[in-house]
Amino acid sequence: LNGSVRGVQKTLTVATEPTFAPFEFQVAGKLQGFDIELVNAIAAAAGFQVKYQNMPFSGMIPALQAKSIDAAVSAMTITEERSKTVSFSRPYFKSGLGIAVRGSNQDITNFESLKNKKIAVQIGTTGADKAKTVPGAAIRTFDDTPIALQELLNGNVDAVVHDQPGLLYGIKTGNLQGLKIVGQLLTEEYYGIPTPKNSPNLKLINQGLTKVLSNGTYAQIYKKWFNS
Ligand code: GLN
């Protein structure tokens, strides 16, 4: 029956923080992006409805633990730490952390040269965790990535550590004019859709995800947002 009971589909509340193009963002109040189209496709394939709920990224794990949402989609990396308290879908996107600096910066060229620098990060992210391992660095934490990047553009910090696909997209589309990415990817990370621990909906989400991965829908959405 594909998740529907006598033709009535269940509705899952899915949290997102729409400040991270091209994964989830808003234009004129309308939610869009790779993650949003992917979840819409998963829902269509598995036979459930989605109600999106905007929420700060750092609030998602607590909300999942409290079961006040059914799932989240927000370019969230599957980590061991998070997996102690929530259950992730199968991975859906390969990512990694990158370093953004101002175009004029000459002295930060890789992770080692972040030593003793001022680094802006988004609270509760893998980028924040990574930045904390830099010796002598002053870490400044912000609620979302656009604010952290604005601090960098304003010259208040030396670098931002965040998911490279988002940084690249911002630079390519001109939204982050004046910034560049330096060095190698710092990590290899995989995004997943978190649900409450052992959620009964996990199977449904994975079935839908597996379908869209195998029927060409995933490739179509990927091409639209990443053009390759
Ligand atoms: N992938 C990173 C994490 O999971 C950042 C996600 C985001 O900023 N939305 O921590």
DSSP string, the chain: -TTEETTEEPEEEEEE--EETTTEEEETTEEESHHHHHHHHHHHHHT-EEEEEE--GGGHHHHHHTTSSSEE-SS-B--HHHHTTEEE-S--EEE-EEEEEETT--S--SSGGGTT-EEEEETTSHHHHHHTTSTT-EEEEESSHHHHHHHHHTTSSSEEEEEHHHHHHHHHTTTTTTEEEESS----EEE--EEETT-TTHHHHHHHHHHHHHSSHHHHHHHHHH--
Mutate to test the pocket of ligand 1, among 16, 17, 77, 93 (most ligand atoms within 8 A of CB): 77
Q: What is the pLDDT, as a whole number, of residue 8?
A: 85
For residue 78, how far is its CA from the centre of ligand 1 (angstroms)?
10
For residue 94, how far is its CA from the centre of ligand 1 (angstroms)?
12
Cβ neighbours, 10 Å, residue 75? 24
For residue 48, how far is its CA from the centre of ligand 1 (angstroms)?
25
Q: Is 206 in the pocket of ligand 1 (CB under 6 A)?
A: no
Q: What residue owns the CA closest to ligand 1's atom 10?
A: 125
Q: Is 111 in the pocket of ligand 1 (CB under 6 A)?
A: no
Provide the ipTM: 0.98
Query: Among positive and negative, which fits the CA dihedral 175, 128, 199, 53?
Result: negative
Q: Which residues pair with 65 in a beta bridge?
A: none
Q: Is 74 in the pocket of ligand 1 (CB under 6 A)?
A: yes
What is the rounded distance in angstroms from the CA atom of residue 81 to the CA atom of residue 222?
A: 28
What is the rounded distance in angstroms from the CA atom of residue 122 to the CA atom of residue 145?
A: 5
Q: What is the pLDDT, as a whole number, of residue 24?
A: 98
What is the rounded distance in angstroms from the CA atom of residue 25 to the CA atom of residue 175?
A: 13
Q: What is the pLDDT, as a whole number, of residue 2?
A: 56
Q: With a cut of 50, which residues of the chain have pLDDT below it?
A: 1
Q: What is the pLDDT, as a whole number, of residue 164?
A: 98
For residue 189, how far is its CA from the centre of ligand 1 (angstroms)?
10
Q: What is the pLDDT, as a whole number, of residue 175?
A: 84
For residue 77, how far is its CA from the centre of ligand 1 (angstroms)?
6
